[in-house]
Structure 1
Amino acid sequence: MSRVDRVETFSQRLRAARMRQGWTQKDLAAASRLSQSAIGNYESGQRRQPSSDALIKLTRALRVSPAWLSTGEGPMQEGGAEAPAGGGAAGGPEPPWPFASISYEAYSRLTEQEKQQIELVLAA
């Protein structure tokens, strides 16, 4: 496990993963299709955890494990492989989608209310 894998808070893990890519907050916002202010709020700790949709966007853009980014559990990347600095959304495999019974495309078509219901179930 690398030094980066042991970061304690979501905001610290997000910033570490972004910096590892060599990206600014603006770069991550563009790659994840989230606002730059949302990225800043996550990194500053003003927003503690993203919605599941935002988490998926961040993990795909940063190419990190959803479990690691969300909770700090496990390796930074699936399989423990280290991505090269300066990598990012344009190259390399996508992190694996954690749900076998529903595709990301199907999830992205859900309404916000349906996504919130899923988040509540997963949080329980």
Structure 2
Amino acid sequence: MDTFADRLRHARLLRGLSQVALARACDLSQSAISSYENGTRQSPKKLLSLAQTLEVDIYWLSRGQGDMMPLPVVARSLAEGAWPFSSIDPAQFWTLTRKDRQVVERAVSALIDSLLISGDKA
């Protein structure tokens, strides 16, 4: 993948996101995502947000250098499986804003902690 446009499209499709879903998650317009992907808009204002939302390395996304996925994401994916919830569609999760995804993550983390603590008492 030679261009930012190619890498962005590849990462978005890999995550199963529509342009609208990615735009919403990054607080951008769908037309901005479309412009990035067709190469008419070159310098994304929200490059960090795009990289974080897509869980890709920012240098890979912007310049095509290094590995696509940052090391912690690669290690987590290999160690624990790509998607841990059989009854939740990953595409639905990825349509949430970054802030909302963080709320979900904190809620799940608190529930896991609670279950681990109650399991110790049993």
TM-score bracket, normalised by the shorter chain, equals 0.5 to 0.7
Match of 2:9 among 15, 19, 22: 15
Which aligned pairs between 1:27-38 and structure 2 lie closer than 5 A? 27-38=21-32
1:106 equivalent in structure 2:
none
Question: % of aligned pairs identical?
Answer: 39
Q: Does 1:47 align with 2:41?
A: yes
CA distance in structure 2 between the partners assigned to 1:20 and 1:64 by the alignment: 11
* Structure 2 length-normalised TM: 0.61
Equivalent AA in structure 2 for residue 62 of structure 1: L
Q: Does 1:73 align with 2:65?
A: yes
CA RMSD across the alignment: 2.5
Q: Deviations over 1:72-101 (max 9, x none)?
A: 00001111718537474537x9xxxxxxxx
Which aligned pairs between 1:92-111 and structure 2 lie closer than 5 A? none
Once the two structures are TM-superposed, the CA of residue 49 in structure 1 deviates from its matched residue by 2.4
Uncovered stretches (5+) of structure 2, i.e. residues with no partner:
84-89, 106-122
| Higher Rg | 2
Structure (1/2) with the larger helix percentage: 2
1:120 equivalent in structure 2:
none
> Any idea what SS the aligned residue of 2:6 has?
helix
Equivalent AA in structure 2 for residue 56 of structure 1: L
CA distance in structure 1 between the partners assigned to 2:37 and 2:14 by the alignment: 14
* Structure 1 length-normalised TM: 0.60
Uncovered stretches (5+) of structure 1, i.e. residues with no partner:
1-6, 94-124
CA contact (8 A) 1:10 1:49 kept: no
